[in-house]
Amino acid sequence: MKEFKGRVINAGYFKGEAVVSHQGVNTLATFQKSALAGAKSVTVSDQNNPDLFGKNITGKALCLPQTIGSTTGGMVIQVICSMGINPACMLFSEHIDSLAGAGIILSVVWENSDIIAIDMLGDEFLSTVKTGDTVEVLEDGTVRIV
């Protein structure tokens, strides 16, 4: 078991499957098709992200450096949380970017979302965790790869 400690943006407990992106995640390109279709889960539609394209990320731990893209990013996160098709948690190796931070906070405050967010887990976290690994996230920002 490998353990990492990050900064808590929104606390919670999670134990489940990780899905990993080694590049910034474009929220609009990732979630757009599923959100517009009113889907029951998100199948990543960003063809420019080979780590995630075609994968289901609903209810999983999305491990990423940051989100990228336009200023719609925060709104897209809020929308998927309001639909209940969001990842269970977003685990950032770097500082959370302002758009993802805004979207997560709005989701928690306005949508009563329980999306967990931890940042500053470090580059070693992202190079260690693999898609399909089981991760355990504790309320204090500890993330274990089990």
Tens of pLDDT, residues 100-115? 999 999 999 999 999 9
Report pLDDT for 141. Answer: 98
Helices 73-83 and 27-37: crossing angle in degrees, nearest 10, is: 40
Q: What band does 30 get if pLDDT is binned at 50, 70 and 90? A: very high
User: How far apart are the C-alpha atoms of 123 and 33, rounded to whole Å?
Assistant: 30
The model's pTM is: 0.97
Question: Closest by alpha carbon to 24, among 79, 85, 99?
Answer: 99
Give yes or no for a contact between 42 and 90, defined as CB atoms under 8 angstroms apart.
no
**What is the rounded average pLDDT of the residues 10-35?**
97
**CATH number for the domain formed by residue range(s) 2-145:** 3.50.30.10
User: How far apart are the C-alpha atoms of 70 and 107, rounded to whole Å?
Assistant: 18
User: How far apart are the C-alpha atoms of 140 and 146, rounded to whole Å?
Assistant: 17
Query: Can you name the residues that pair with 17 across neighbouring β-strands?
Result: 134
Q: Which residues of 112-133 are buried (b: 16+ CB within 10 A; e: fewer)?
A: ebbbbbbbbbeeebbeebeeeb
Report pLDDT for 109. Answer: 97
Tens of pLDDT, residues 81-137? 999 999 999 999 999 999 999 999 999 999 999 999 999 999 999 999 999 999 999
Give yes or no for a contact between 26 and 68, defined as CB atoms under 8 angstroms apart.
yes
Report pLDDT for 29. Answer: 95
Rounded to whole angstroms, the maximal C-alpha distance in the chain is 39
Domain boundaries of the chain, sorted by first residue: 2-145
Q: What band does 41 get if pLDDT is binned at 50, 70 and 90? A: very high
User: How far apart are the C-alpha atoms of 140 and 66, rounded to whole Å?
Assistant: 20
